[in-house]
Amino acid sequence: MRPSSDLSGLGFVKNGIVETIVSTYDEERSPNAAPMGVYTEDMRNIVLKPFKTTQTYENLLKLRSGVANITSDPTLFHRTVFKDANPEGRVPGEWFTHAETVDAPRLMNADACIEFRVISVEDSEEKARLLCRVEKILMIYKPTLRVYSRAVSAVIESLIHATRIEAFLASGEAKKAKDLIGLVKHYHRIVEKVAPNSKYSEIMSDIKRRIDGWRRG
């Protein structure tokens, strides 16, 4: 592992949203983690736009510190999107260690971690815009040779859509929810074709079960 401060080395481009898992401490000092898109406007800071009803937003307002964890592991996304998918109904504390430069936890199994401080907050009706200064980037060297599986991308896309589907159904935005449900069904077919009876197909089945439950109300 080595420190860095170059966002481009992680694949960032200006104004391009990337999917991360943001980890923070709550008021009881327990680690919290949730998938969240982030982007950069200047290659020095990152911008987050959390919903104001989330635990992540509350934690960031209080401690002004967090970590954007970079990973391509669908299991990490799944178990941080849906906390009840974990044995104790929460993300395991042993997944984390303390960040080096900010008061926040980081995921030990991430491929890289961006430690940041919140330097400004702009409120809107549903979301806030948080401008965050990058304090340190930890790049964890792992084997670079990996086969490409369409299932990995399909699962992560489905998890991202699932969080929006739940919100759209709850707010009565049926058309938006229906469009995303159609996409998830498409990704489910891909996973069943390229990775049947795998951990990826298990995650897709869990997503389908949850969507069916949300639709029933």
Residues 44 and 87 in one domain: yes
E strands in 125-212: 128-139
Residues 70 and 154 in one domain: no
Boundary of a domain, candidates 139, 171, 205: 139
User: For residue range 144-185, what is the model confidence (pLDDT) as tens digits?
Assistant: 667 889 999 999 999 999 999 999 999 999 999 999 999 999
Stated as kind and residue range, the H or E segment containing 114 is: strand 112-123
* Entry pTM: 0.91
Would the pLDDT of 4 be above 50? no
Residues 27 and 74 in one domain: yes
Answer yes or no: is 50 within a domain.
Answer: yes
Boundary of a domain, candidates 90, 113, 139: 139
Answer yes or no: is 144 within a domain.
Answer: no
User: For residue range 60-91, what is the model confidence (pLDDT) as tens digits?
Assistant: 999 999 999 999 999 999 999 999 999 989 99
Q: Mean pLDDT, to the nearest integer, of 193-215? A: 97
Using pLDDT thresholds of 50, 70 and 90, give the confidence band for residue 124: confident
Residues 37 and 130 in one domain: yes
Non-local CB neighbours of 48 within 8 Å, separated by 6+ positions: 22, 36, 38, 60, 66, 68, 129, 130, 132
Answer yes or no: is 145 within a domain.
Answer: no
Q: Say if CB 57 and CB 67 are below 8 A apart.
A: no
- The Cβ of residue 175 has, within 10 Å, a number of other Cβ atoms equal to 7
